[in-house]
């Protein structure tokens, strides 16, 4: 029993600490153009219900202020946070499209850099392995360049036509990356395989991030159509992906804690697979 009561002495597990953490994470998501509304009403209601129960329960048991004025202020803060979360379910499509479009464009320099690393990786491999790798990744340059162009076009004009082009191209590139991962798995030399998987992983992380962003501004029908064009599923390549490396990459890009990035990576992967990718 004492071990459970002692967690309240740790600042990160106090109710106030949890409130600060939630607000921090919400701020990070907001900066990236991710809104609760994009998760779907059912998911938001479930999330808010769980959060409300947890926060108010913690407020009732928190020995730091449940019986004094600061405790009352903390409870008010919890209710205010819950109200803010509920307001996040209201339509914010215009703002979301603009911020998501900018977020996608912000990923394109990193995508181009990752593809350049892929291009240089062949020189580190044995000739036989290099041939397999080059054949598997030969389409990355054209695919990433076209995606970058379409992302800028969507940012300039977030209309249905430019979004449709972006939707089609992100699926094409995602399929190219997934196929390359399966090909890389056939390389028998452990050192070569590690070089190959690491370089493709960097591209895959960015592609998955952009896919999640595109999904957030796409209708259910459009997402279903995109998924129907996805023949090589994420489930097939997941064993070759390093989620820890992906989290570090996302954290570096957004300048956020790795723990927050890890949650985003998991959410993006789960959402993509549930959608049929």
Q: Which of 73, 78, 92 is nearest to 29 (CA)?
A: 92
Domain count, the chain: 2
User: Based on the domain organization, do 152 and 74 belong to the same domain?
Assistant: no
- Residue 258 burial by CB count (10 A; 0-12/13-18/19+): exposed, middle or buried? middle
Check whether 261 has a pLDDT greater than 70. yes
User: Based on the domain organization, do 113 and 226 belong to the same domain?
Assistant: yes
State the Cα–Cα distance between residues 19 and 23, nearest whole angstrom.
Answer: 6
pLDDT at 201: 96
State the Cα–Cα distance between residues 103 and 268, nearest whole angstrom.
Answer: 15
Give the torsion sign (CA, 244, 88, 31, 116).
Answer: positive
pTM over 0.85: no
User: Based on the domain organization, do 249 and 223 belong to the same domain?
Assistant: yes
Pick the residue with more confidence: 188 or 249?
Answer: 249
pLDDT at 88: 46
Segment 199-234, tens digit of pLDDT: 999 999 999 999 999 999 999 999 999 999 999 999
User: Based on the domain organization, do 167 and 112 belong to the same domain?
Assistant: yes
User: Based on the domain organization, do 55 and 174 belong to the same domain?
Assistant: no
Domain with 103 in it? 93-274
């Amino acid at each position: 029993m004492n071990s459970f009561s002692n967690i309240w002495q740790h600042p990160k597990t106090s109710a106030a600490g949890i409130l600060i953490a939630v607000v921090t994470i919400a701020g990070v998501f907001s900066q990236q153009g991710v809104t609760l509304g994009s998760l779907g009403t059912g998911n938001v209601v479930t999330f808010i219900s769980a959060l409300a129960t947890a926060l108010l329960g913690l407020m009732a048991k928190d020995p730091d202020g449940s019986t004094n004025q600061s405790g009352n202020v903390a409870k008010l803060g919890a209710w205010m946070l819950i109200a803010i979360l509920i307001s996040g379910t209201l339509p914010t499509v215009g703002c979301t499209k603009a911020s998501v479009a900018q977020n996608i464009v912000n990923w394109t320099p990193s995508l181009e850099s990752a593809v350049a690393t892929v291009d240089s990786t062949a020189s580190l491999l044995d000739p036989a392995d290099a041939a397999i790798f080059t054949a598997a990744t030969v389409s990355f340059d054209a695919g990433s360049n076209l995606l970058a162009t379409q992302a800028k076009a969507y940012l300039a004009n977030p209309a249905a036509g430019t979004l449709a082009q972006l939707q089609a191209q992100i699926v094409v590139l995602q399929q190219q990356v997934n196929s390359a991962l399966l090909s890389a798995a056939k390389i028998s030399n452990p050192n070569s395989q590690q070089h190959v998987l690491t370089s493709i992983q960097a591209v895959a992380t960015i592609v998955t991030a952009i896919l999640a962003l595109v999904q957030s501004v796409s209708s259910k029908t459009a997402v279903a159509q995109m998924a129907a064009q996805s023949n090589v599923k994420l489930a097939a390549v997941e064993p070759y992906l390093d989620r820890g490396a992906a989290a570090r990459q996302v954290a570096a890009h957004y300048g956020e804690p790795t723990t927050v990035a890890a949650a985003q990576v998991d959410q993006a992967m789960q959402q993509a697979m549930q959608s049929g990718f």
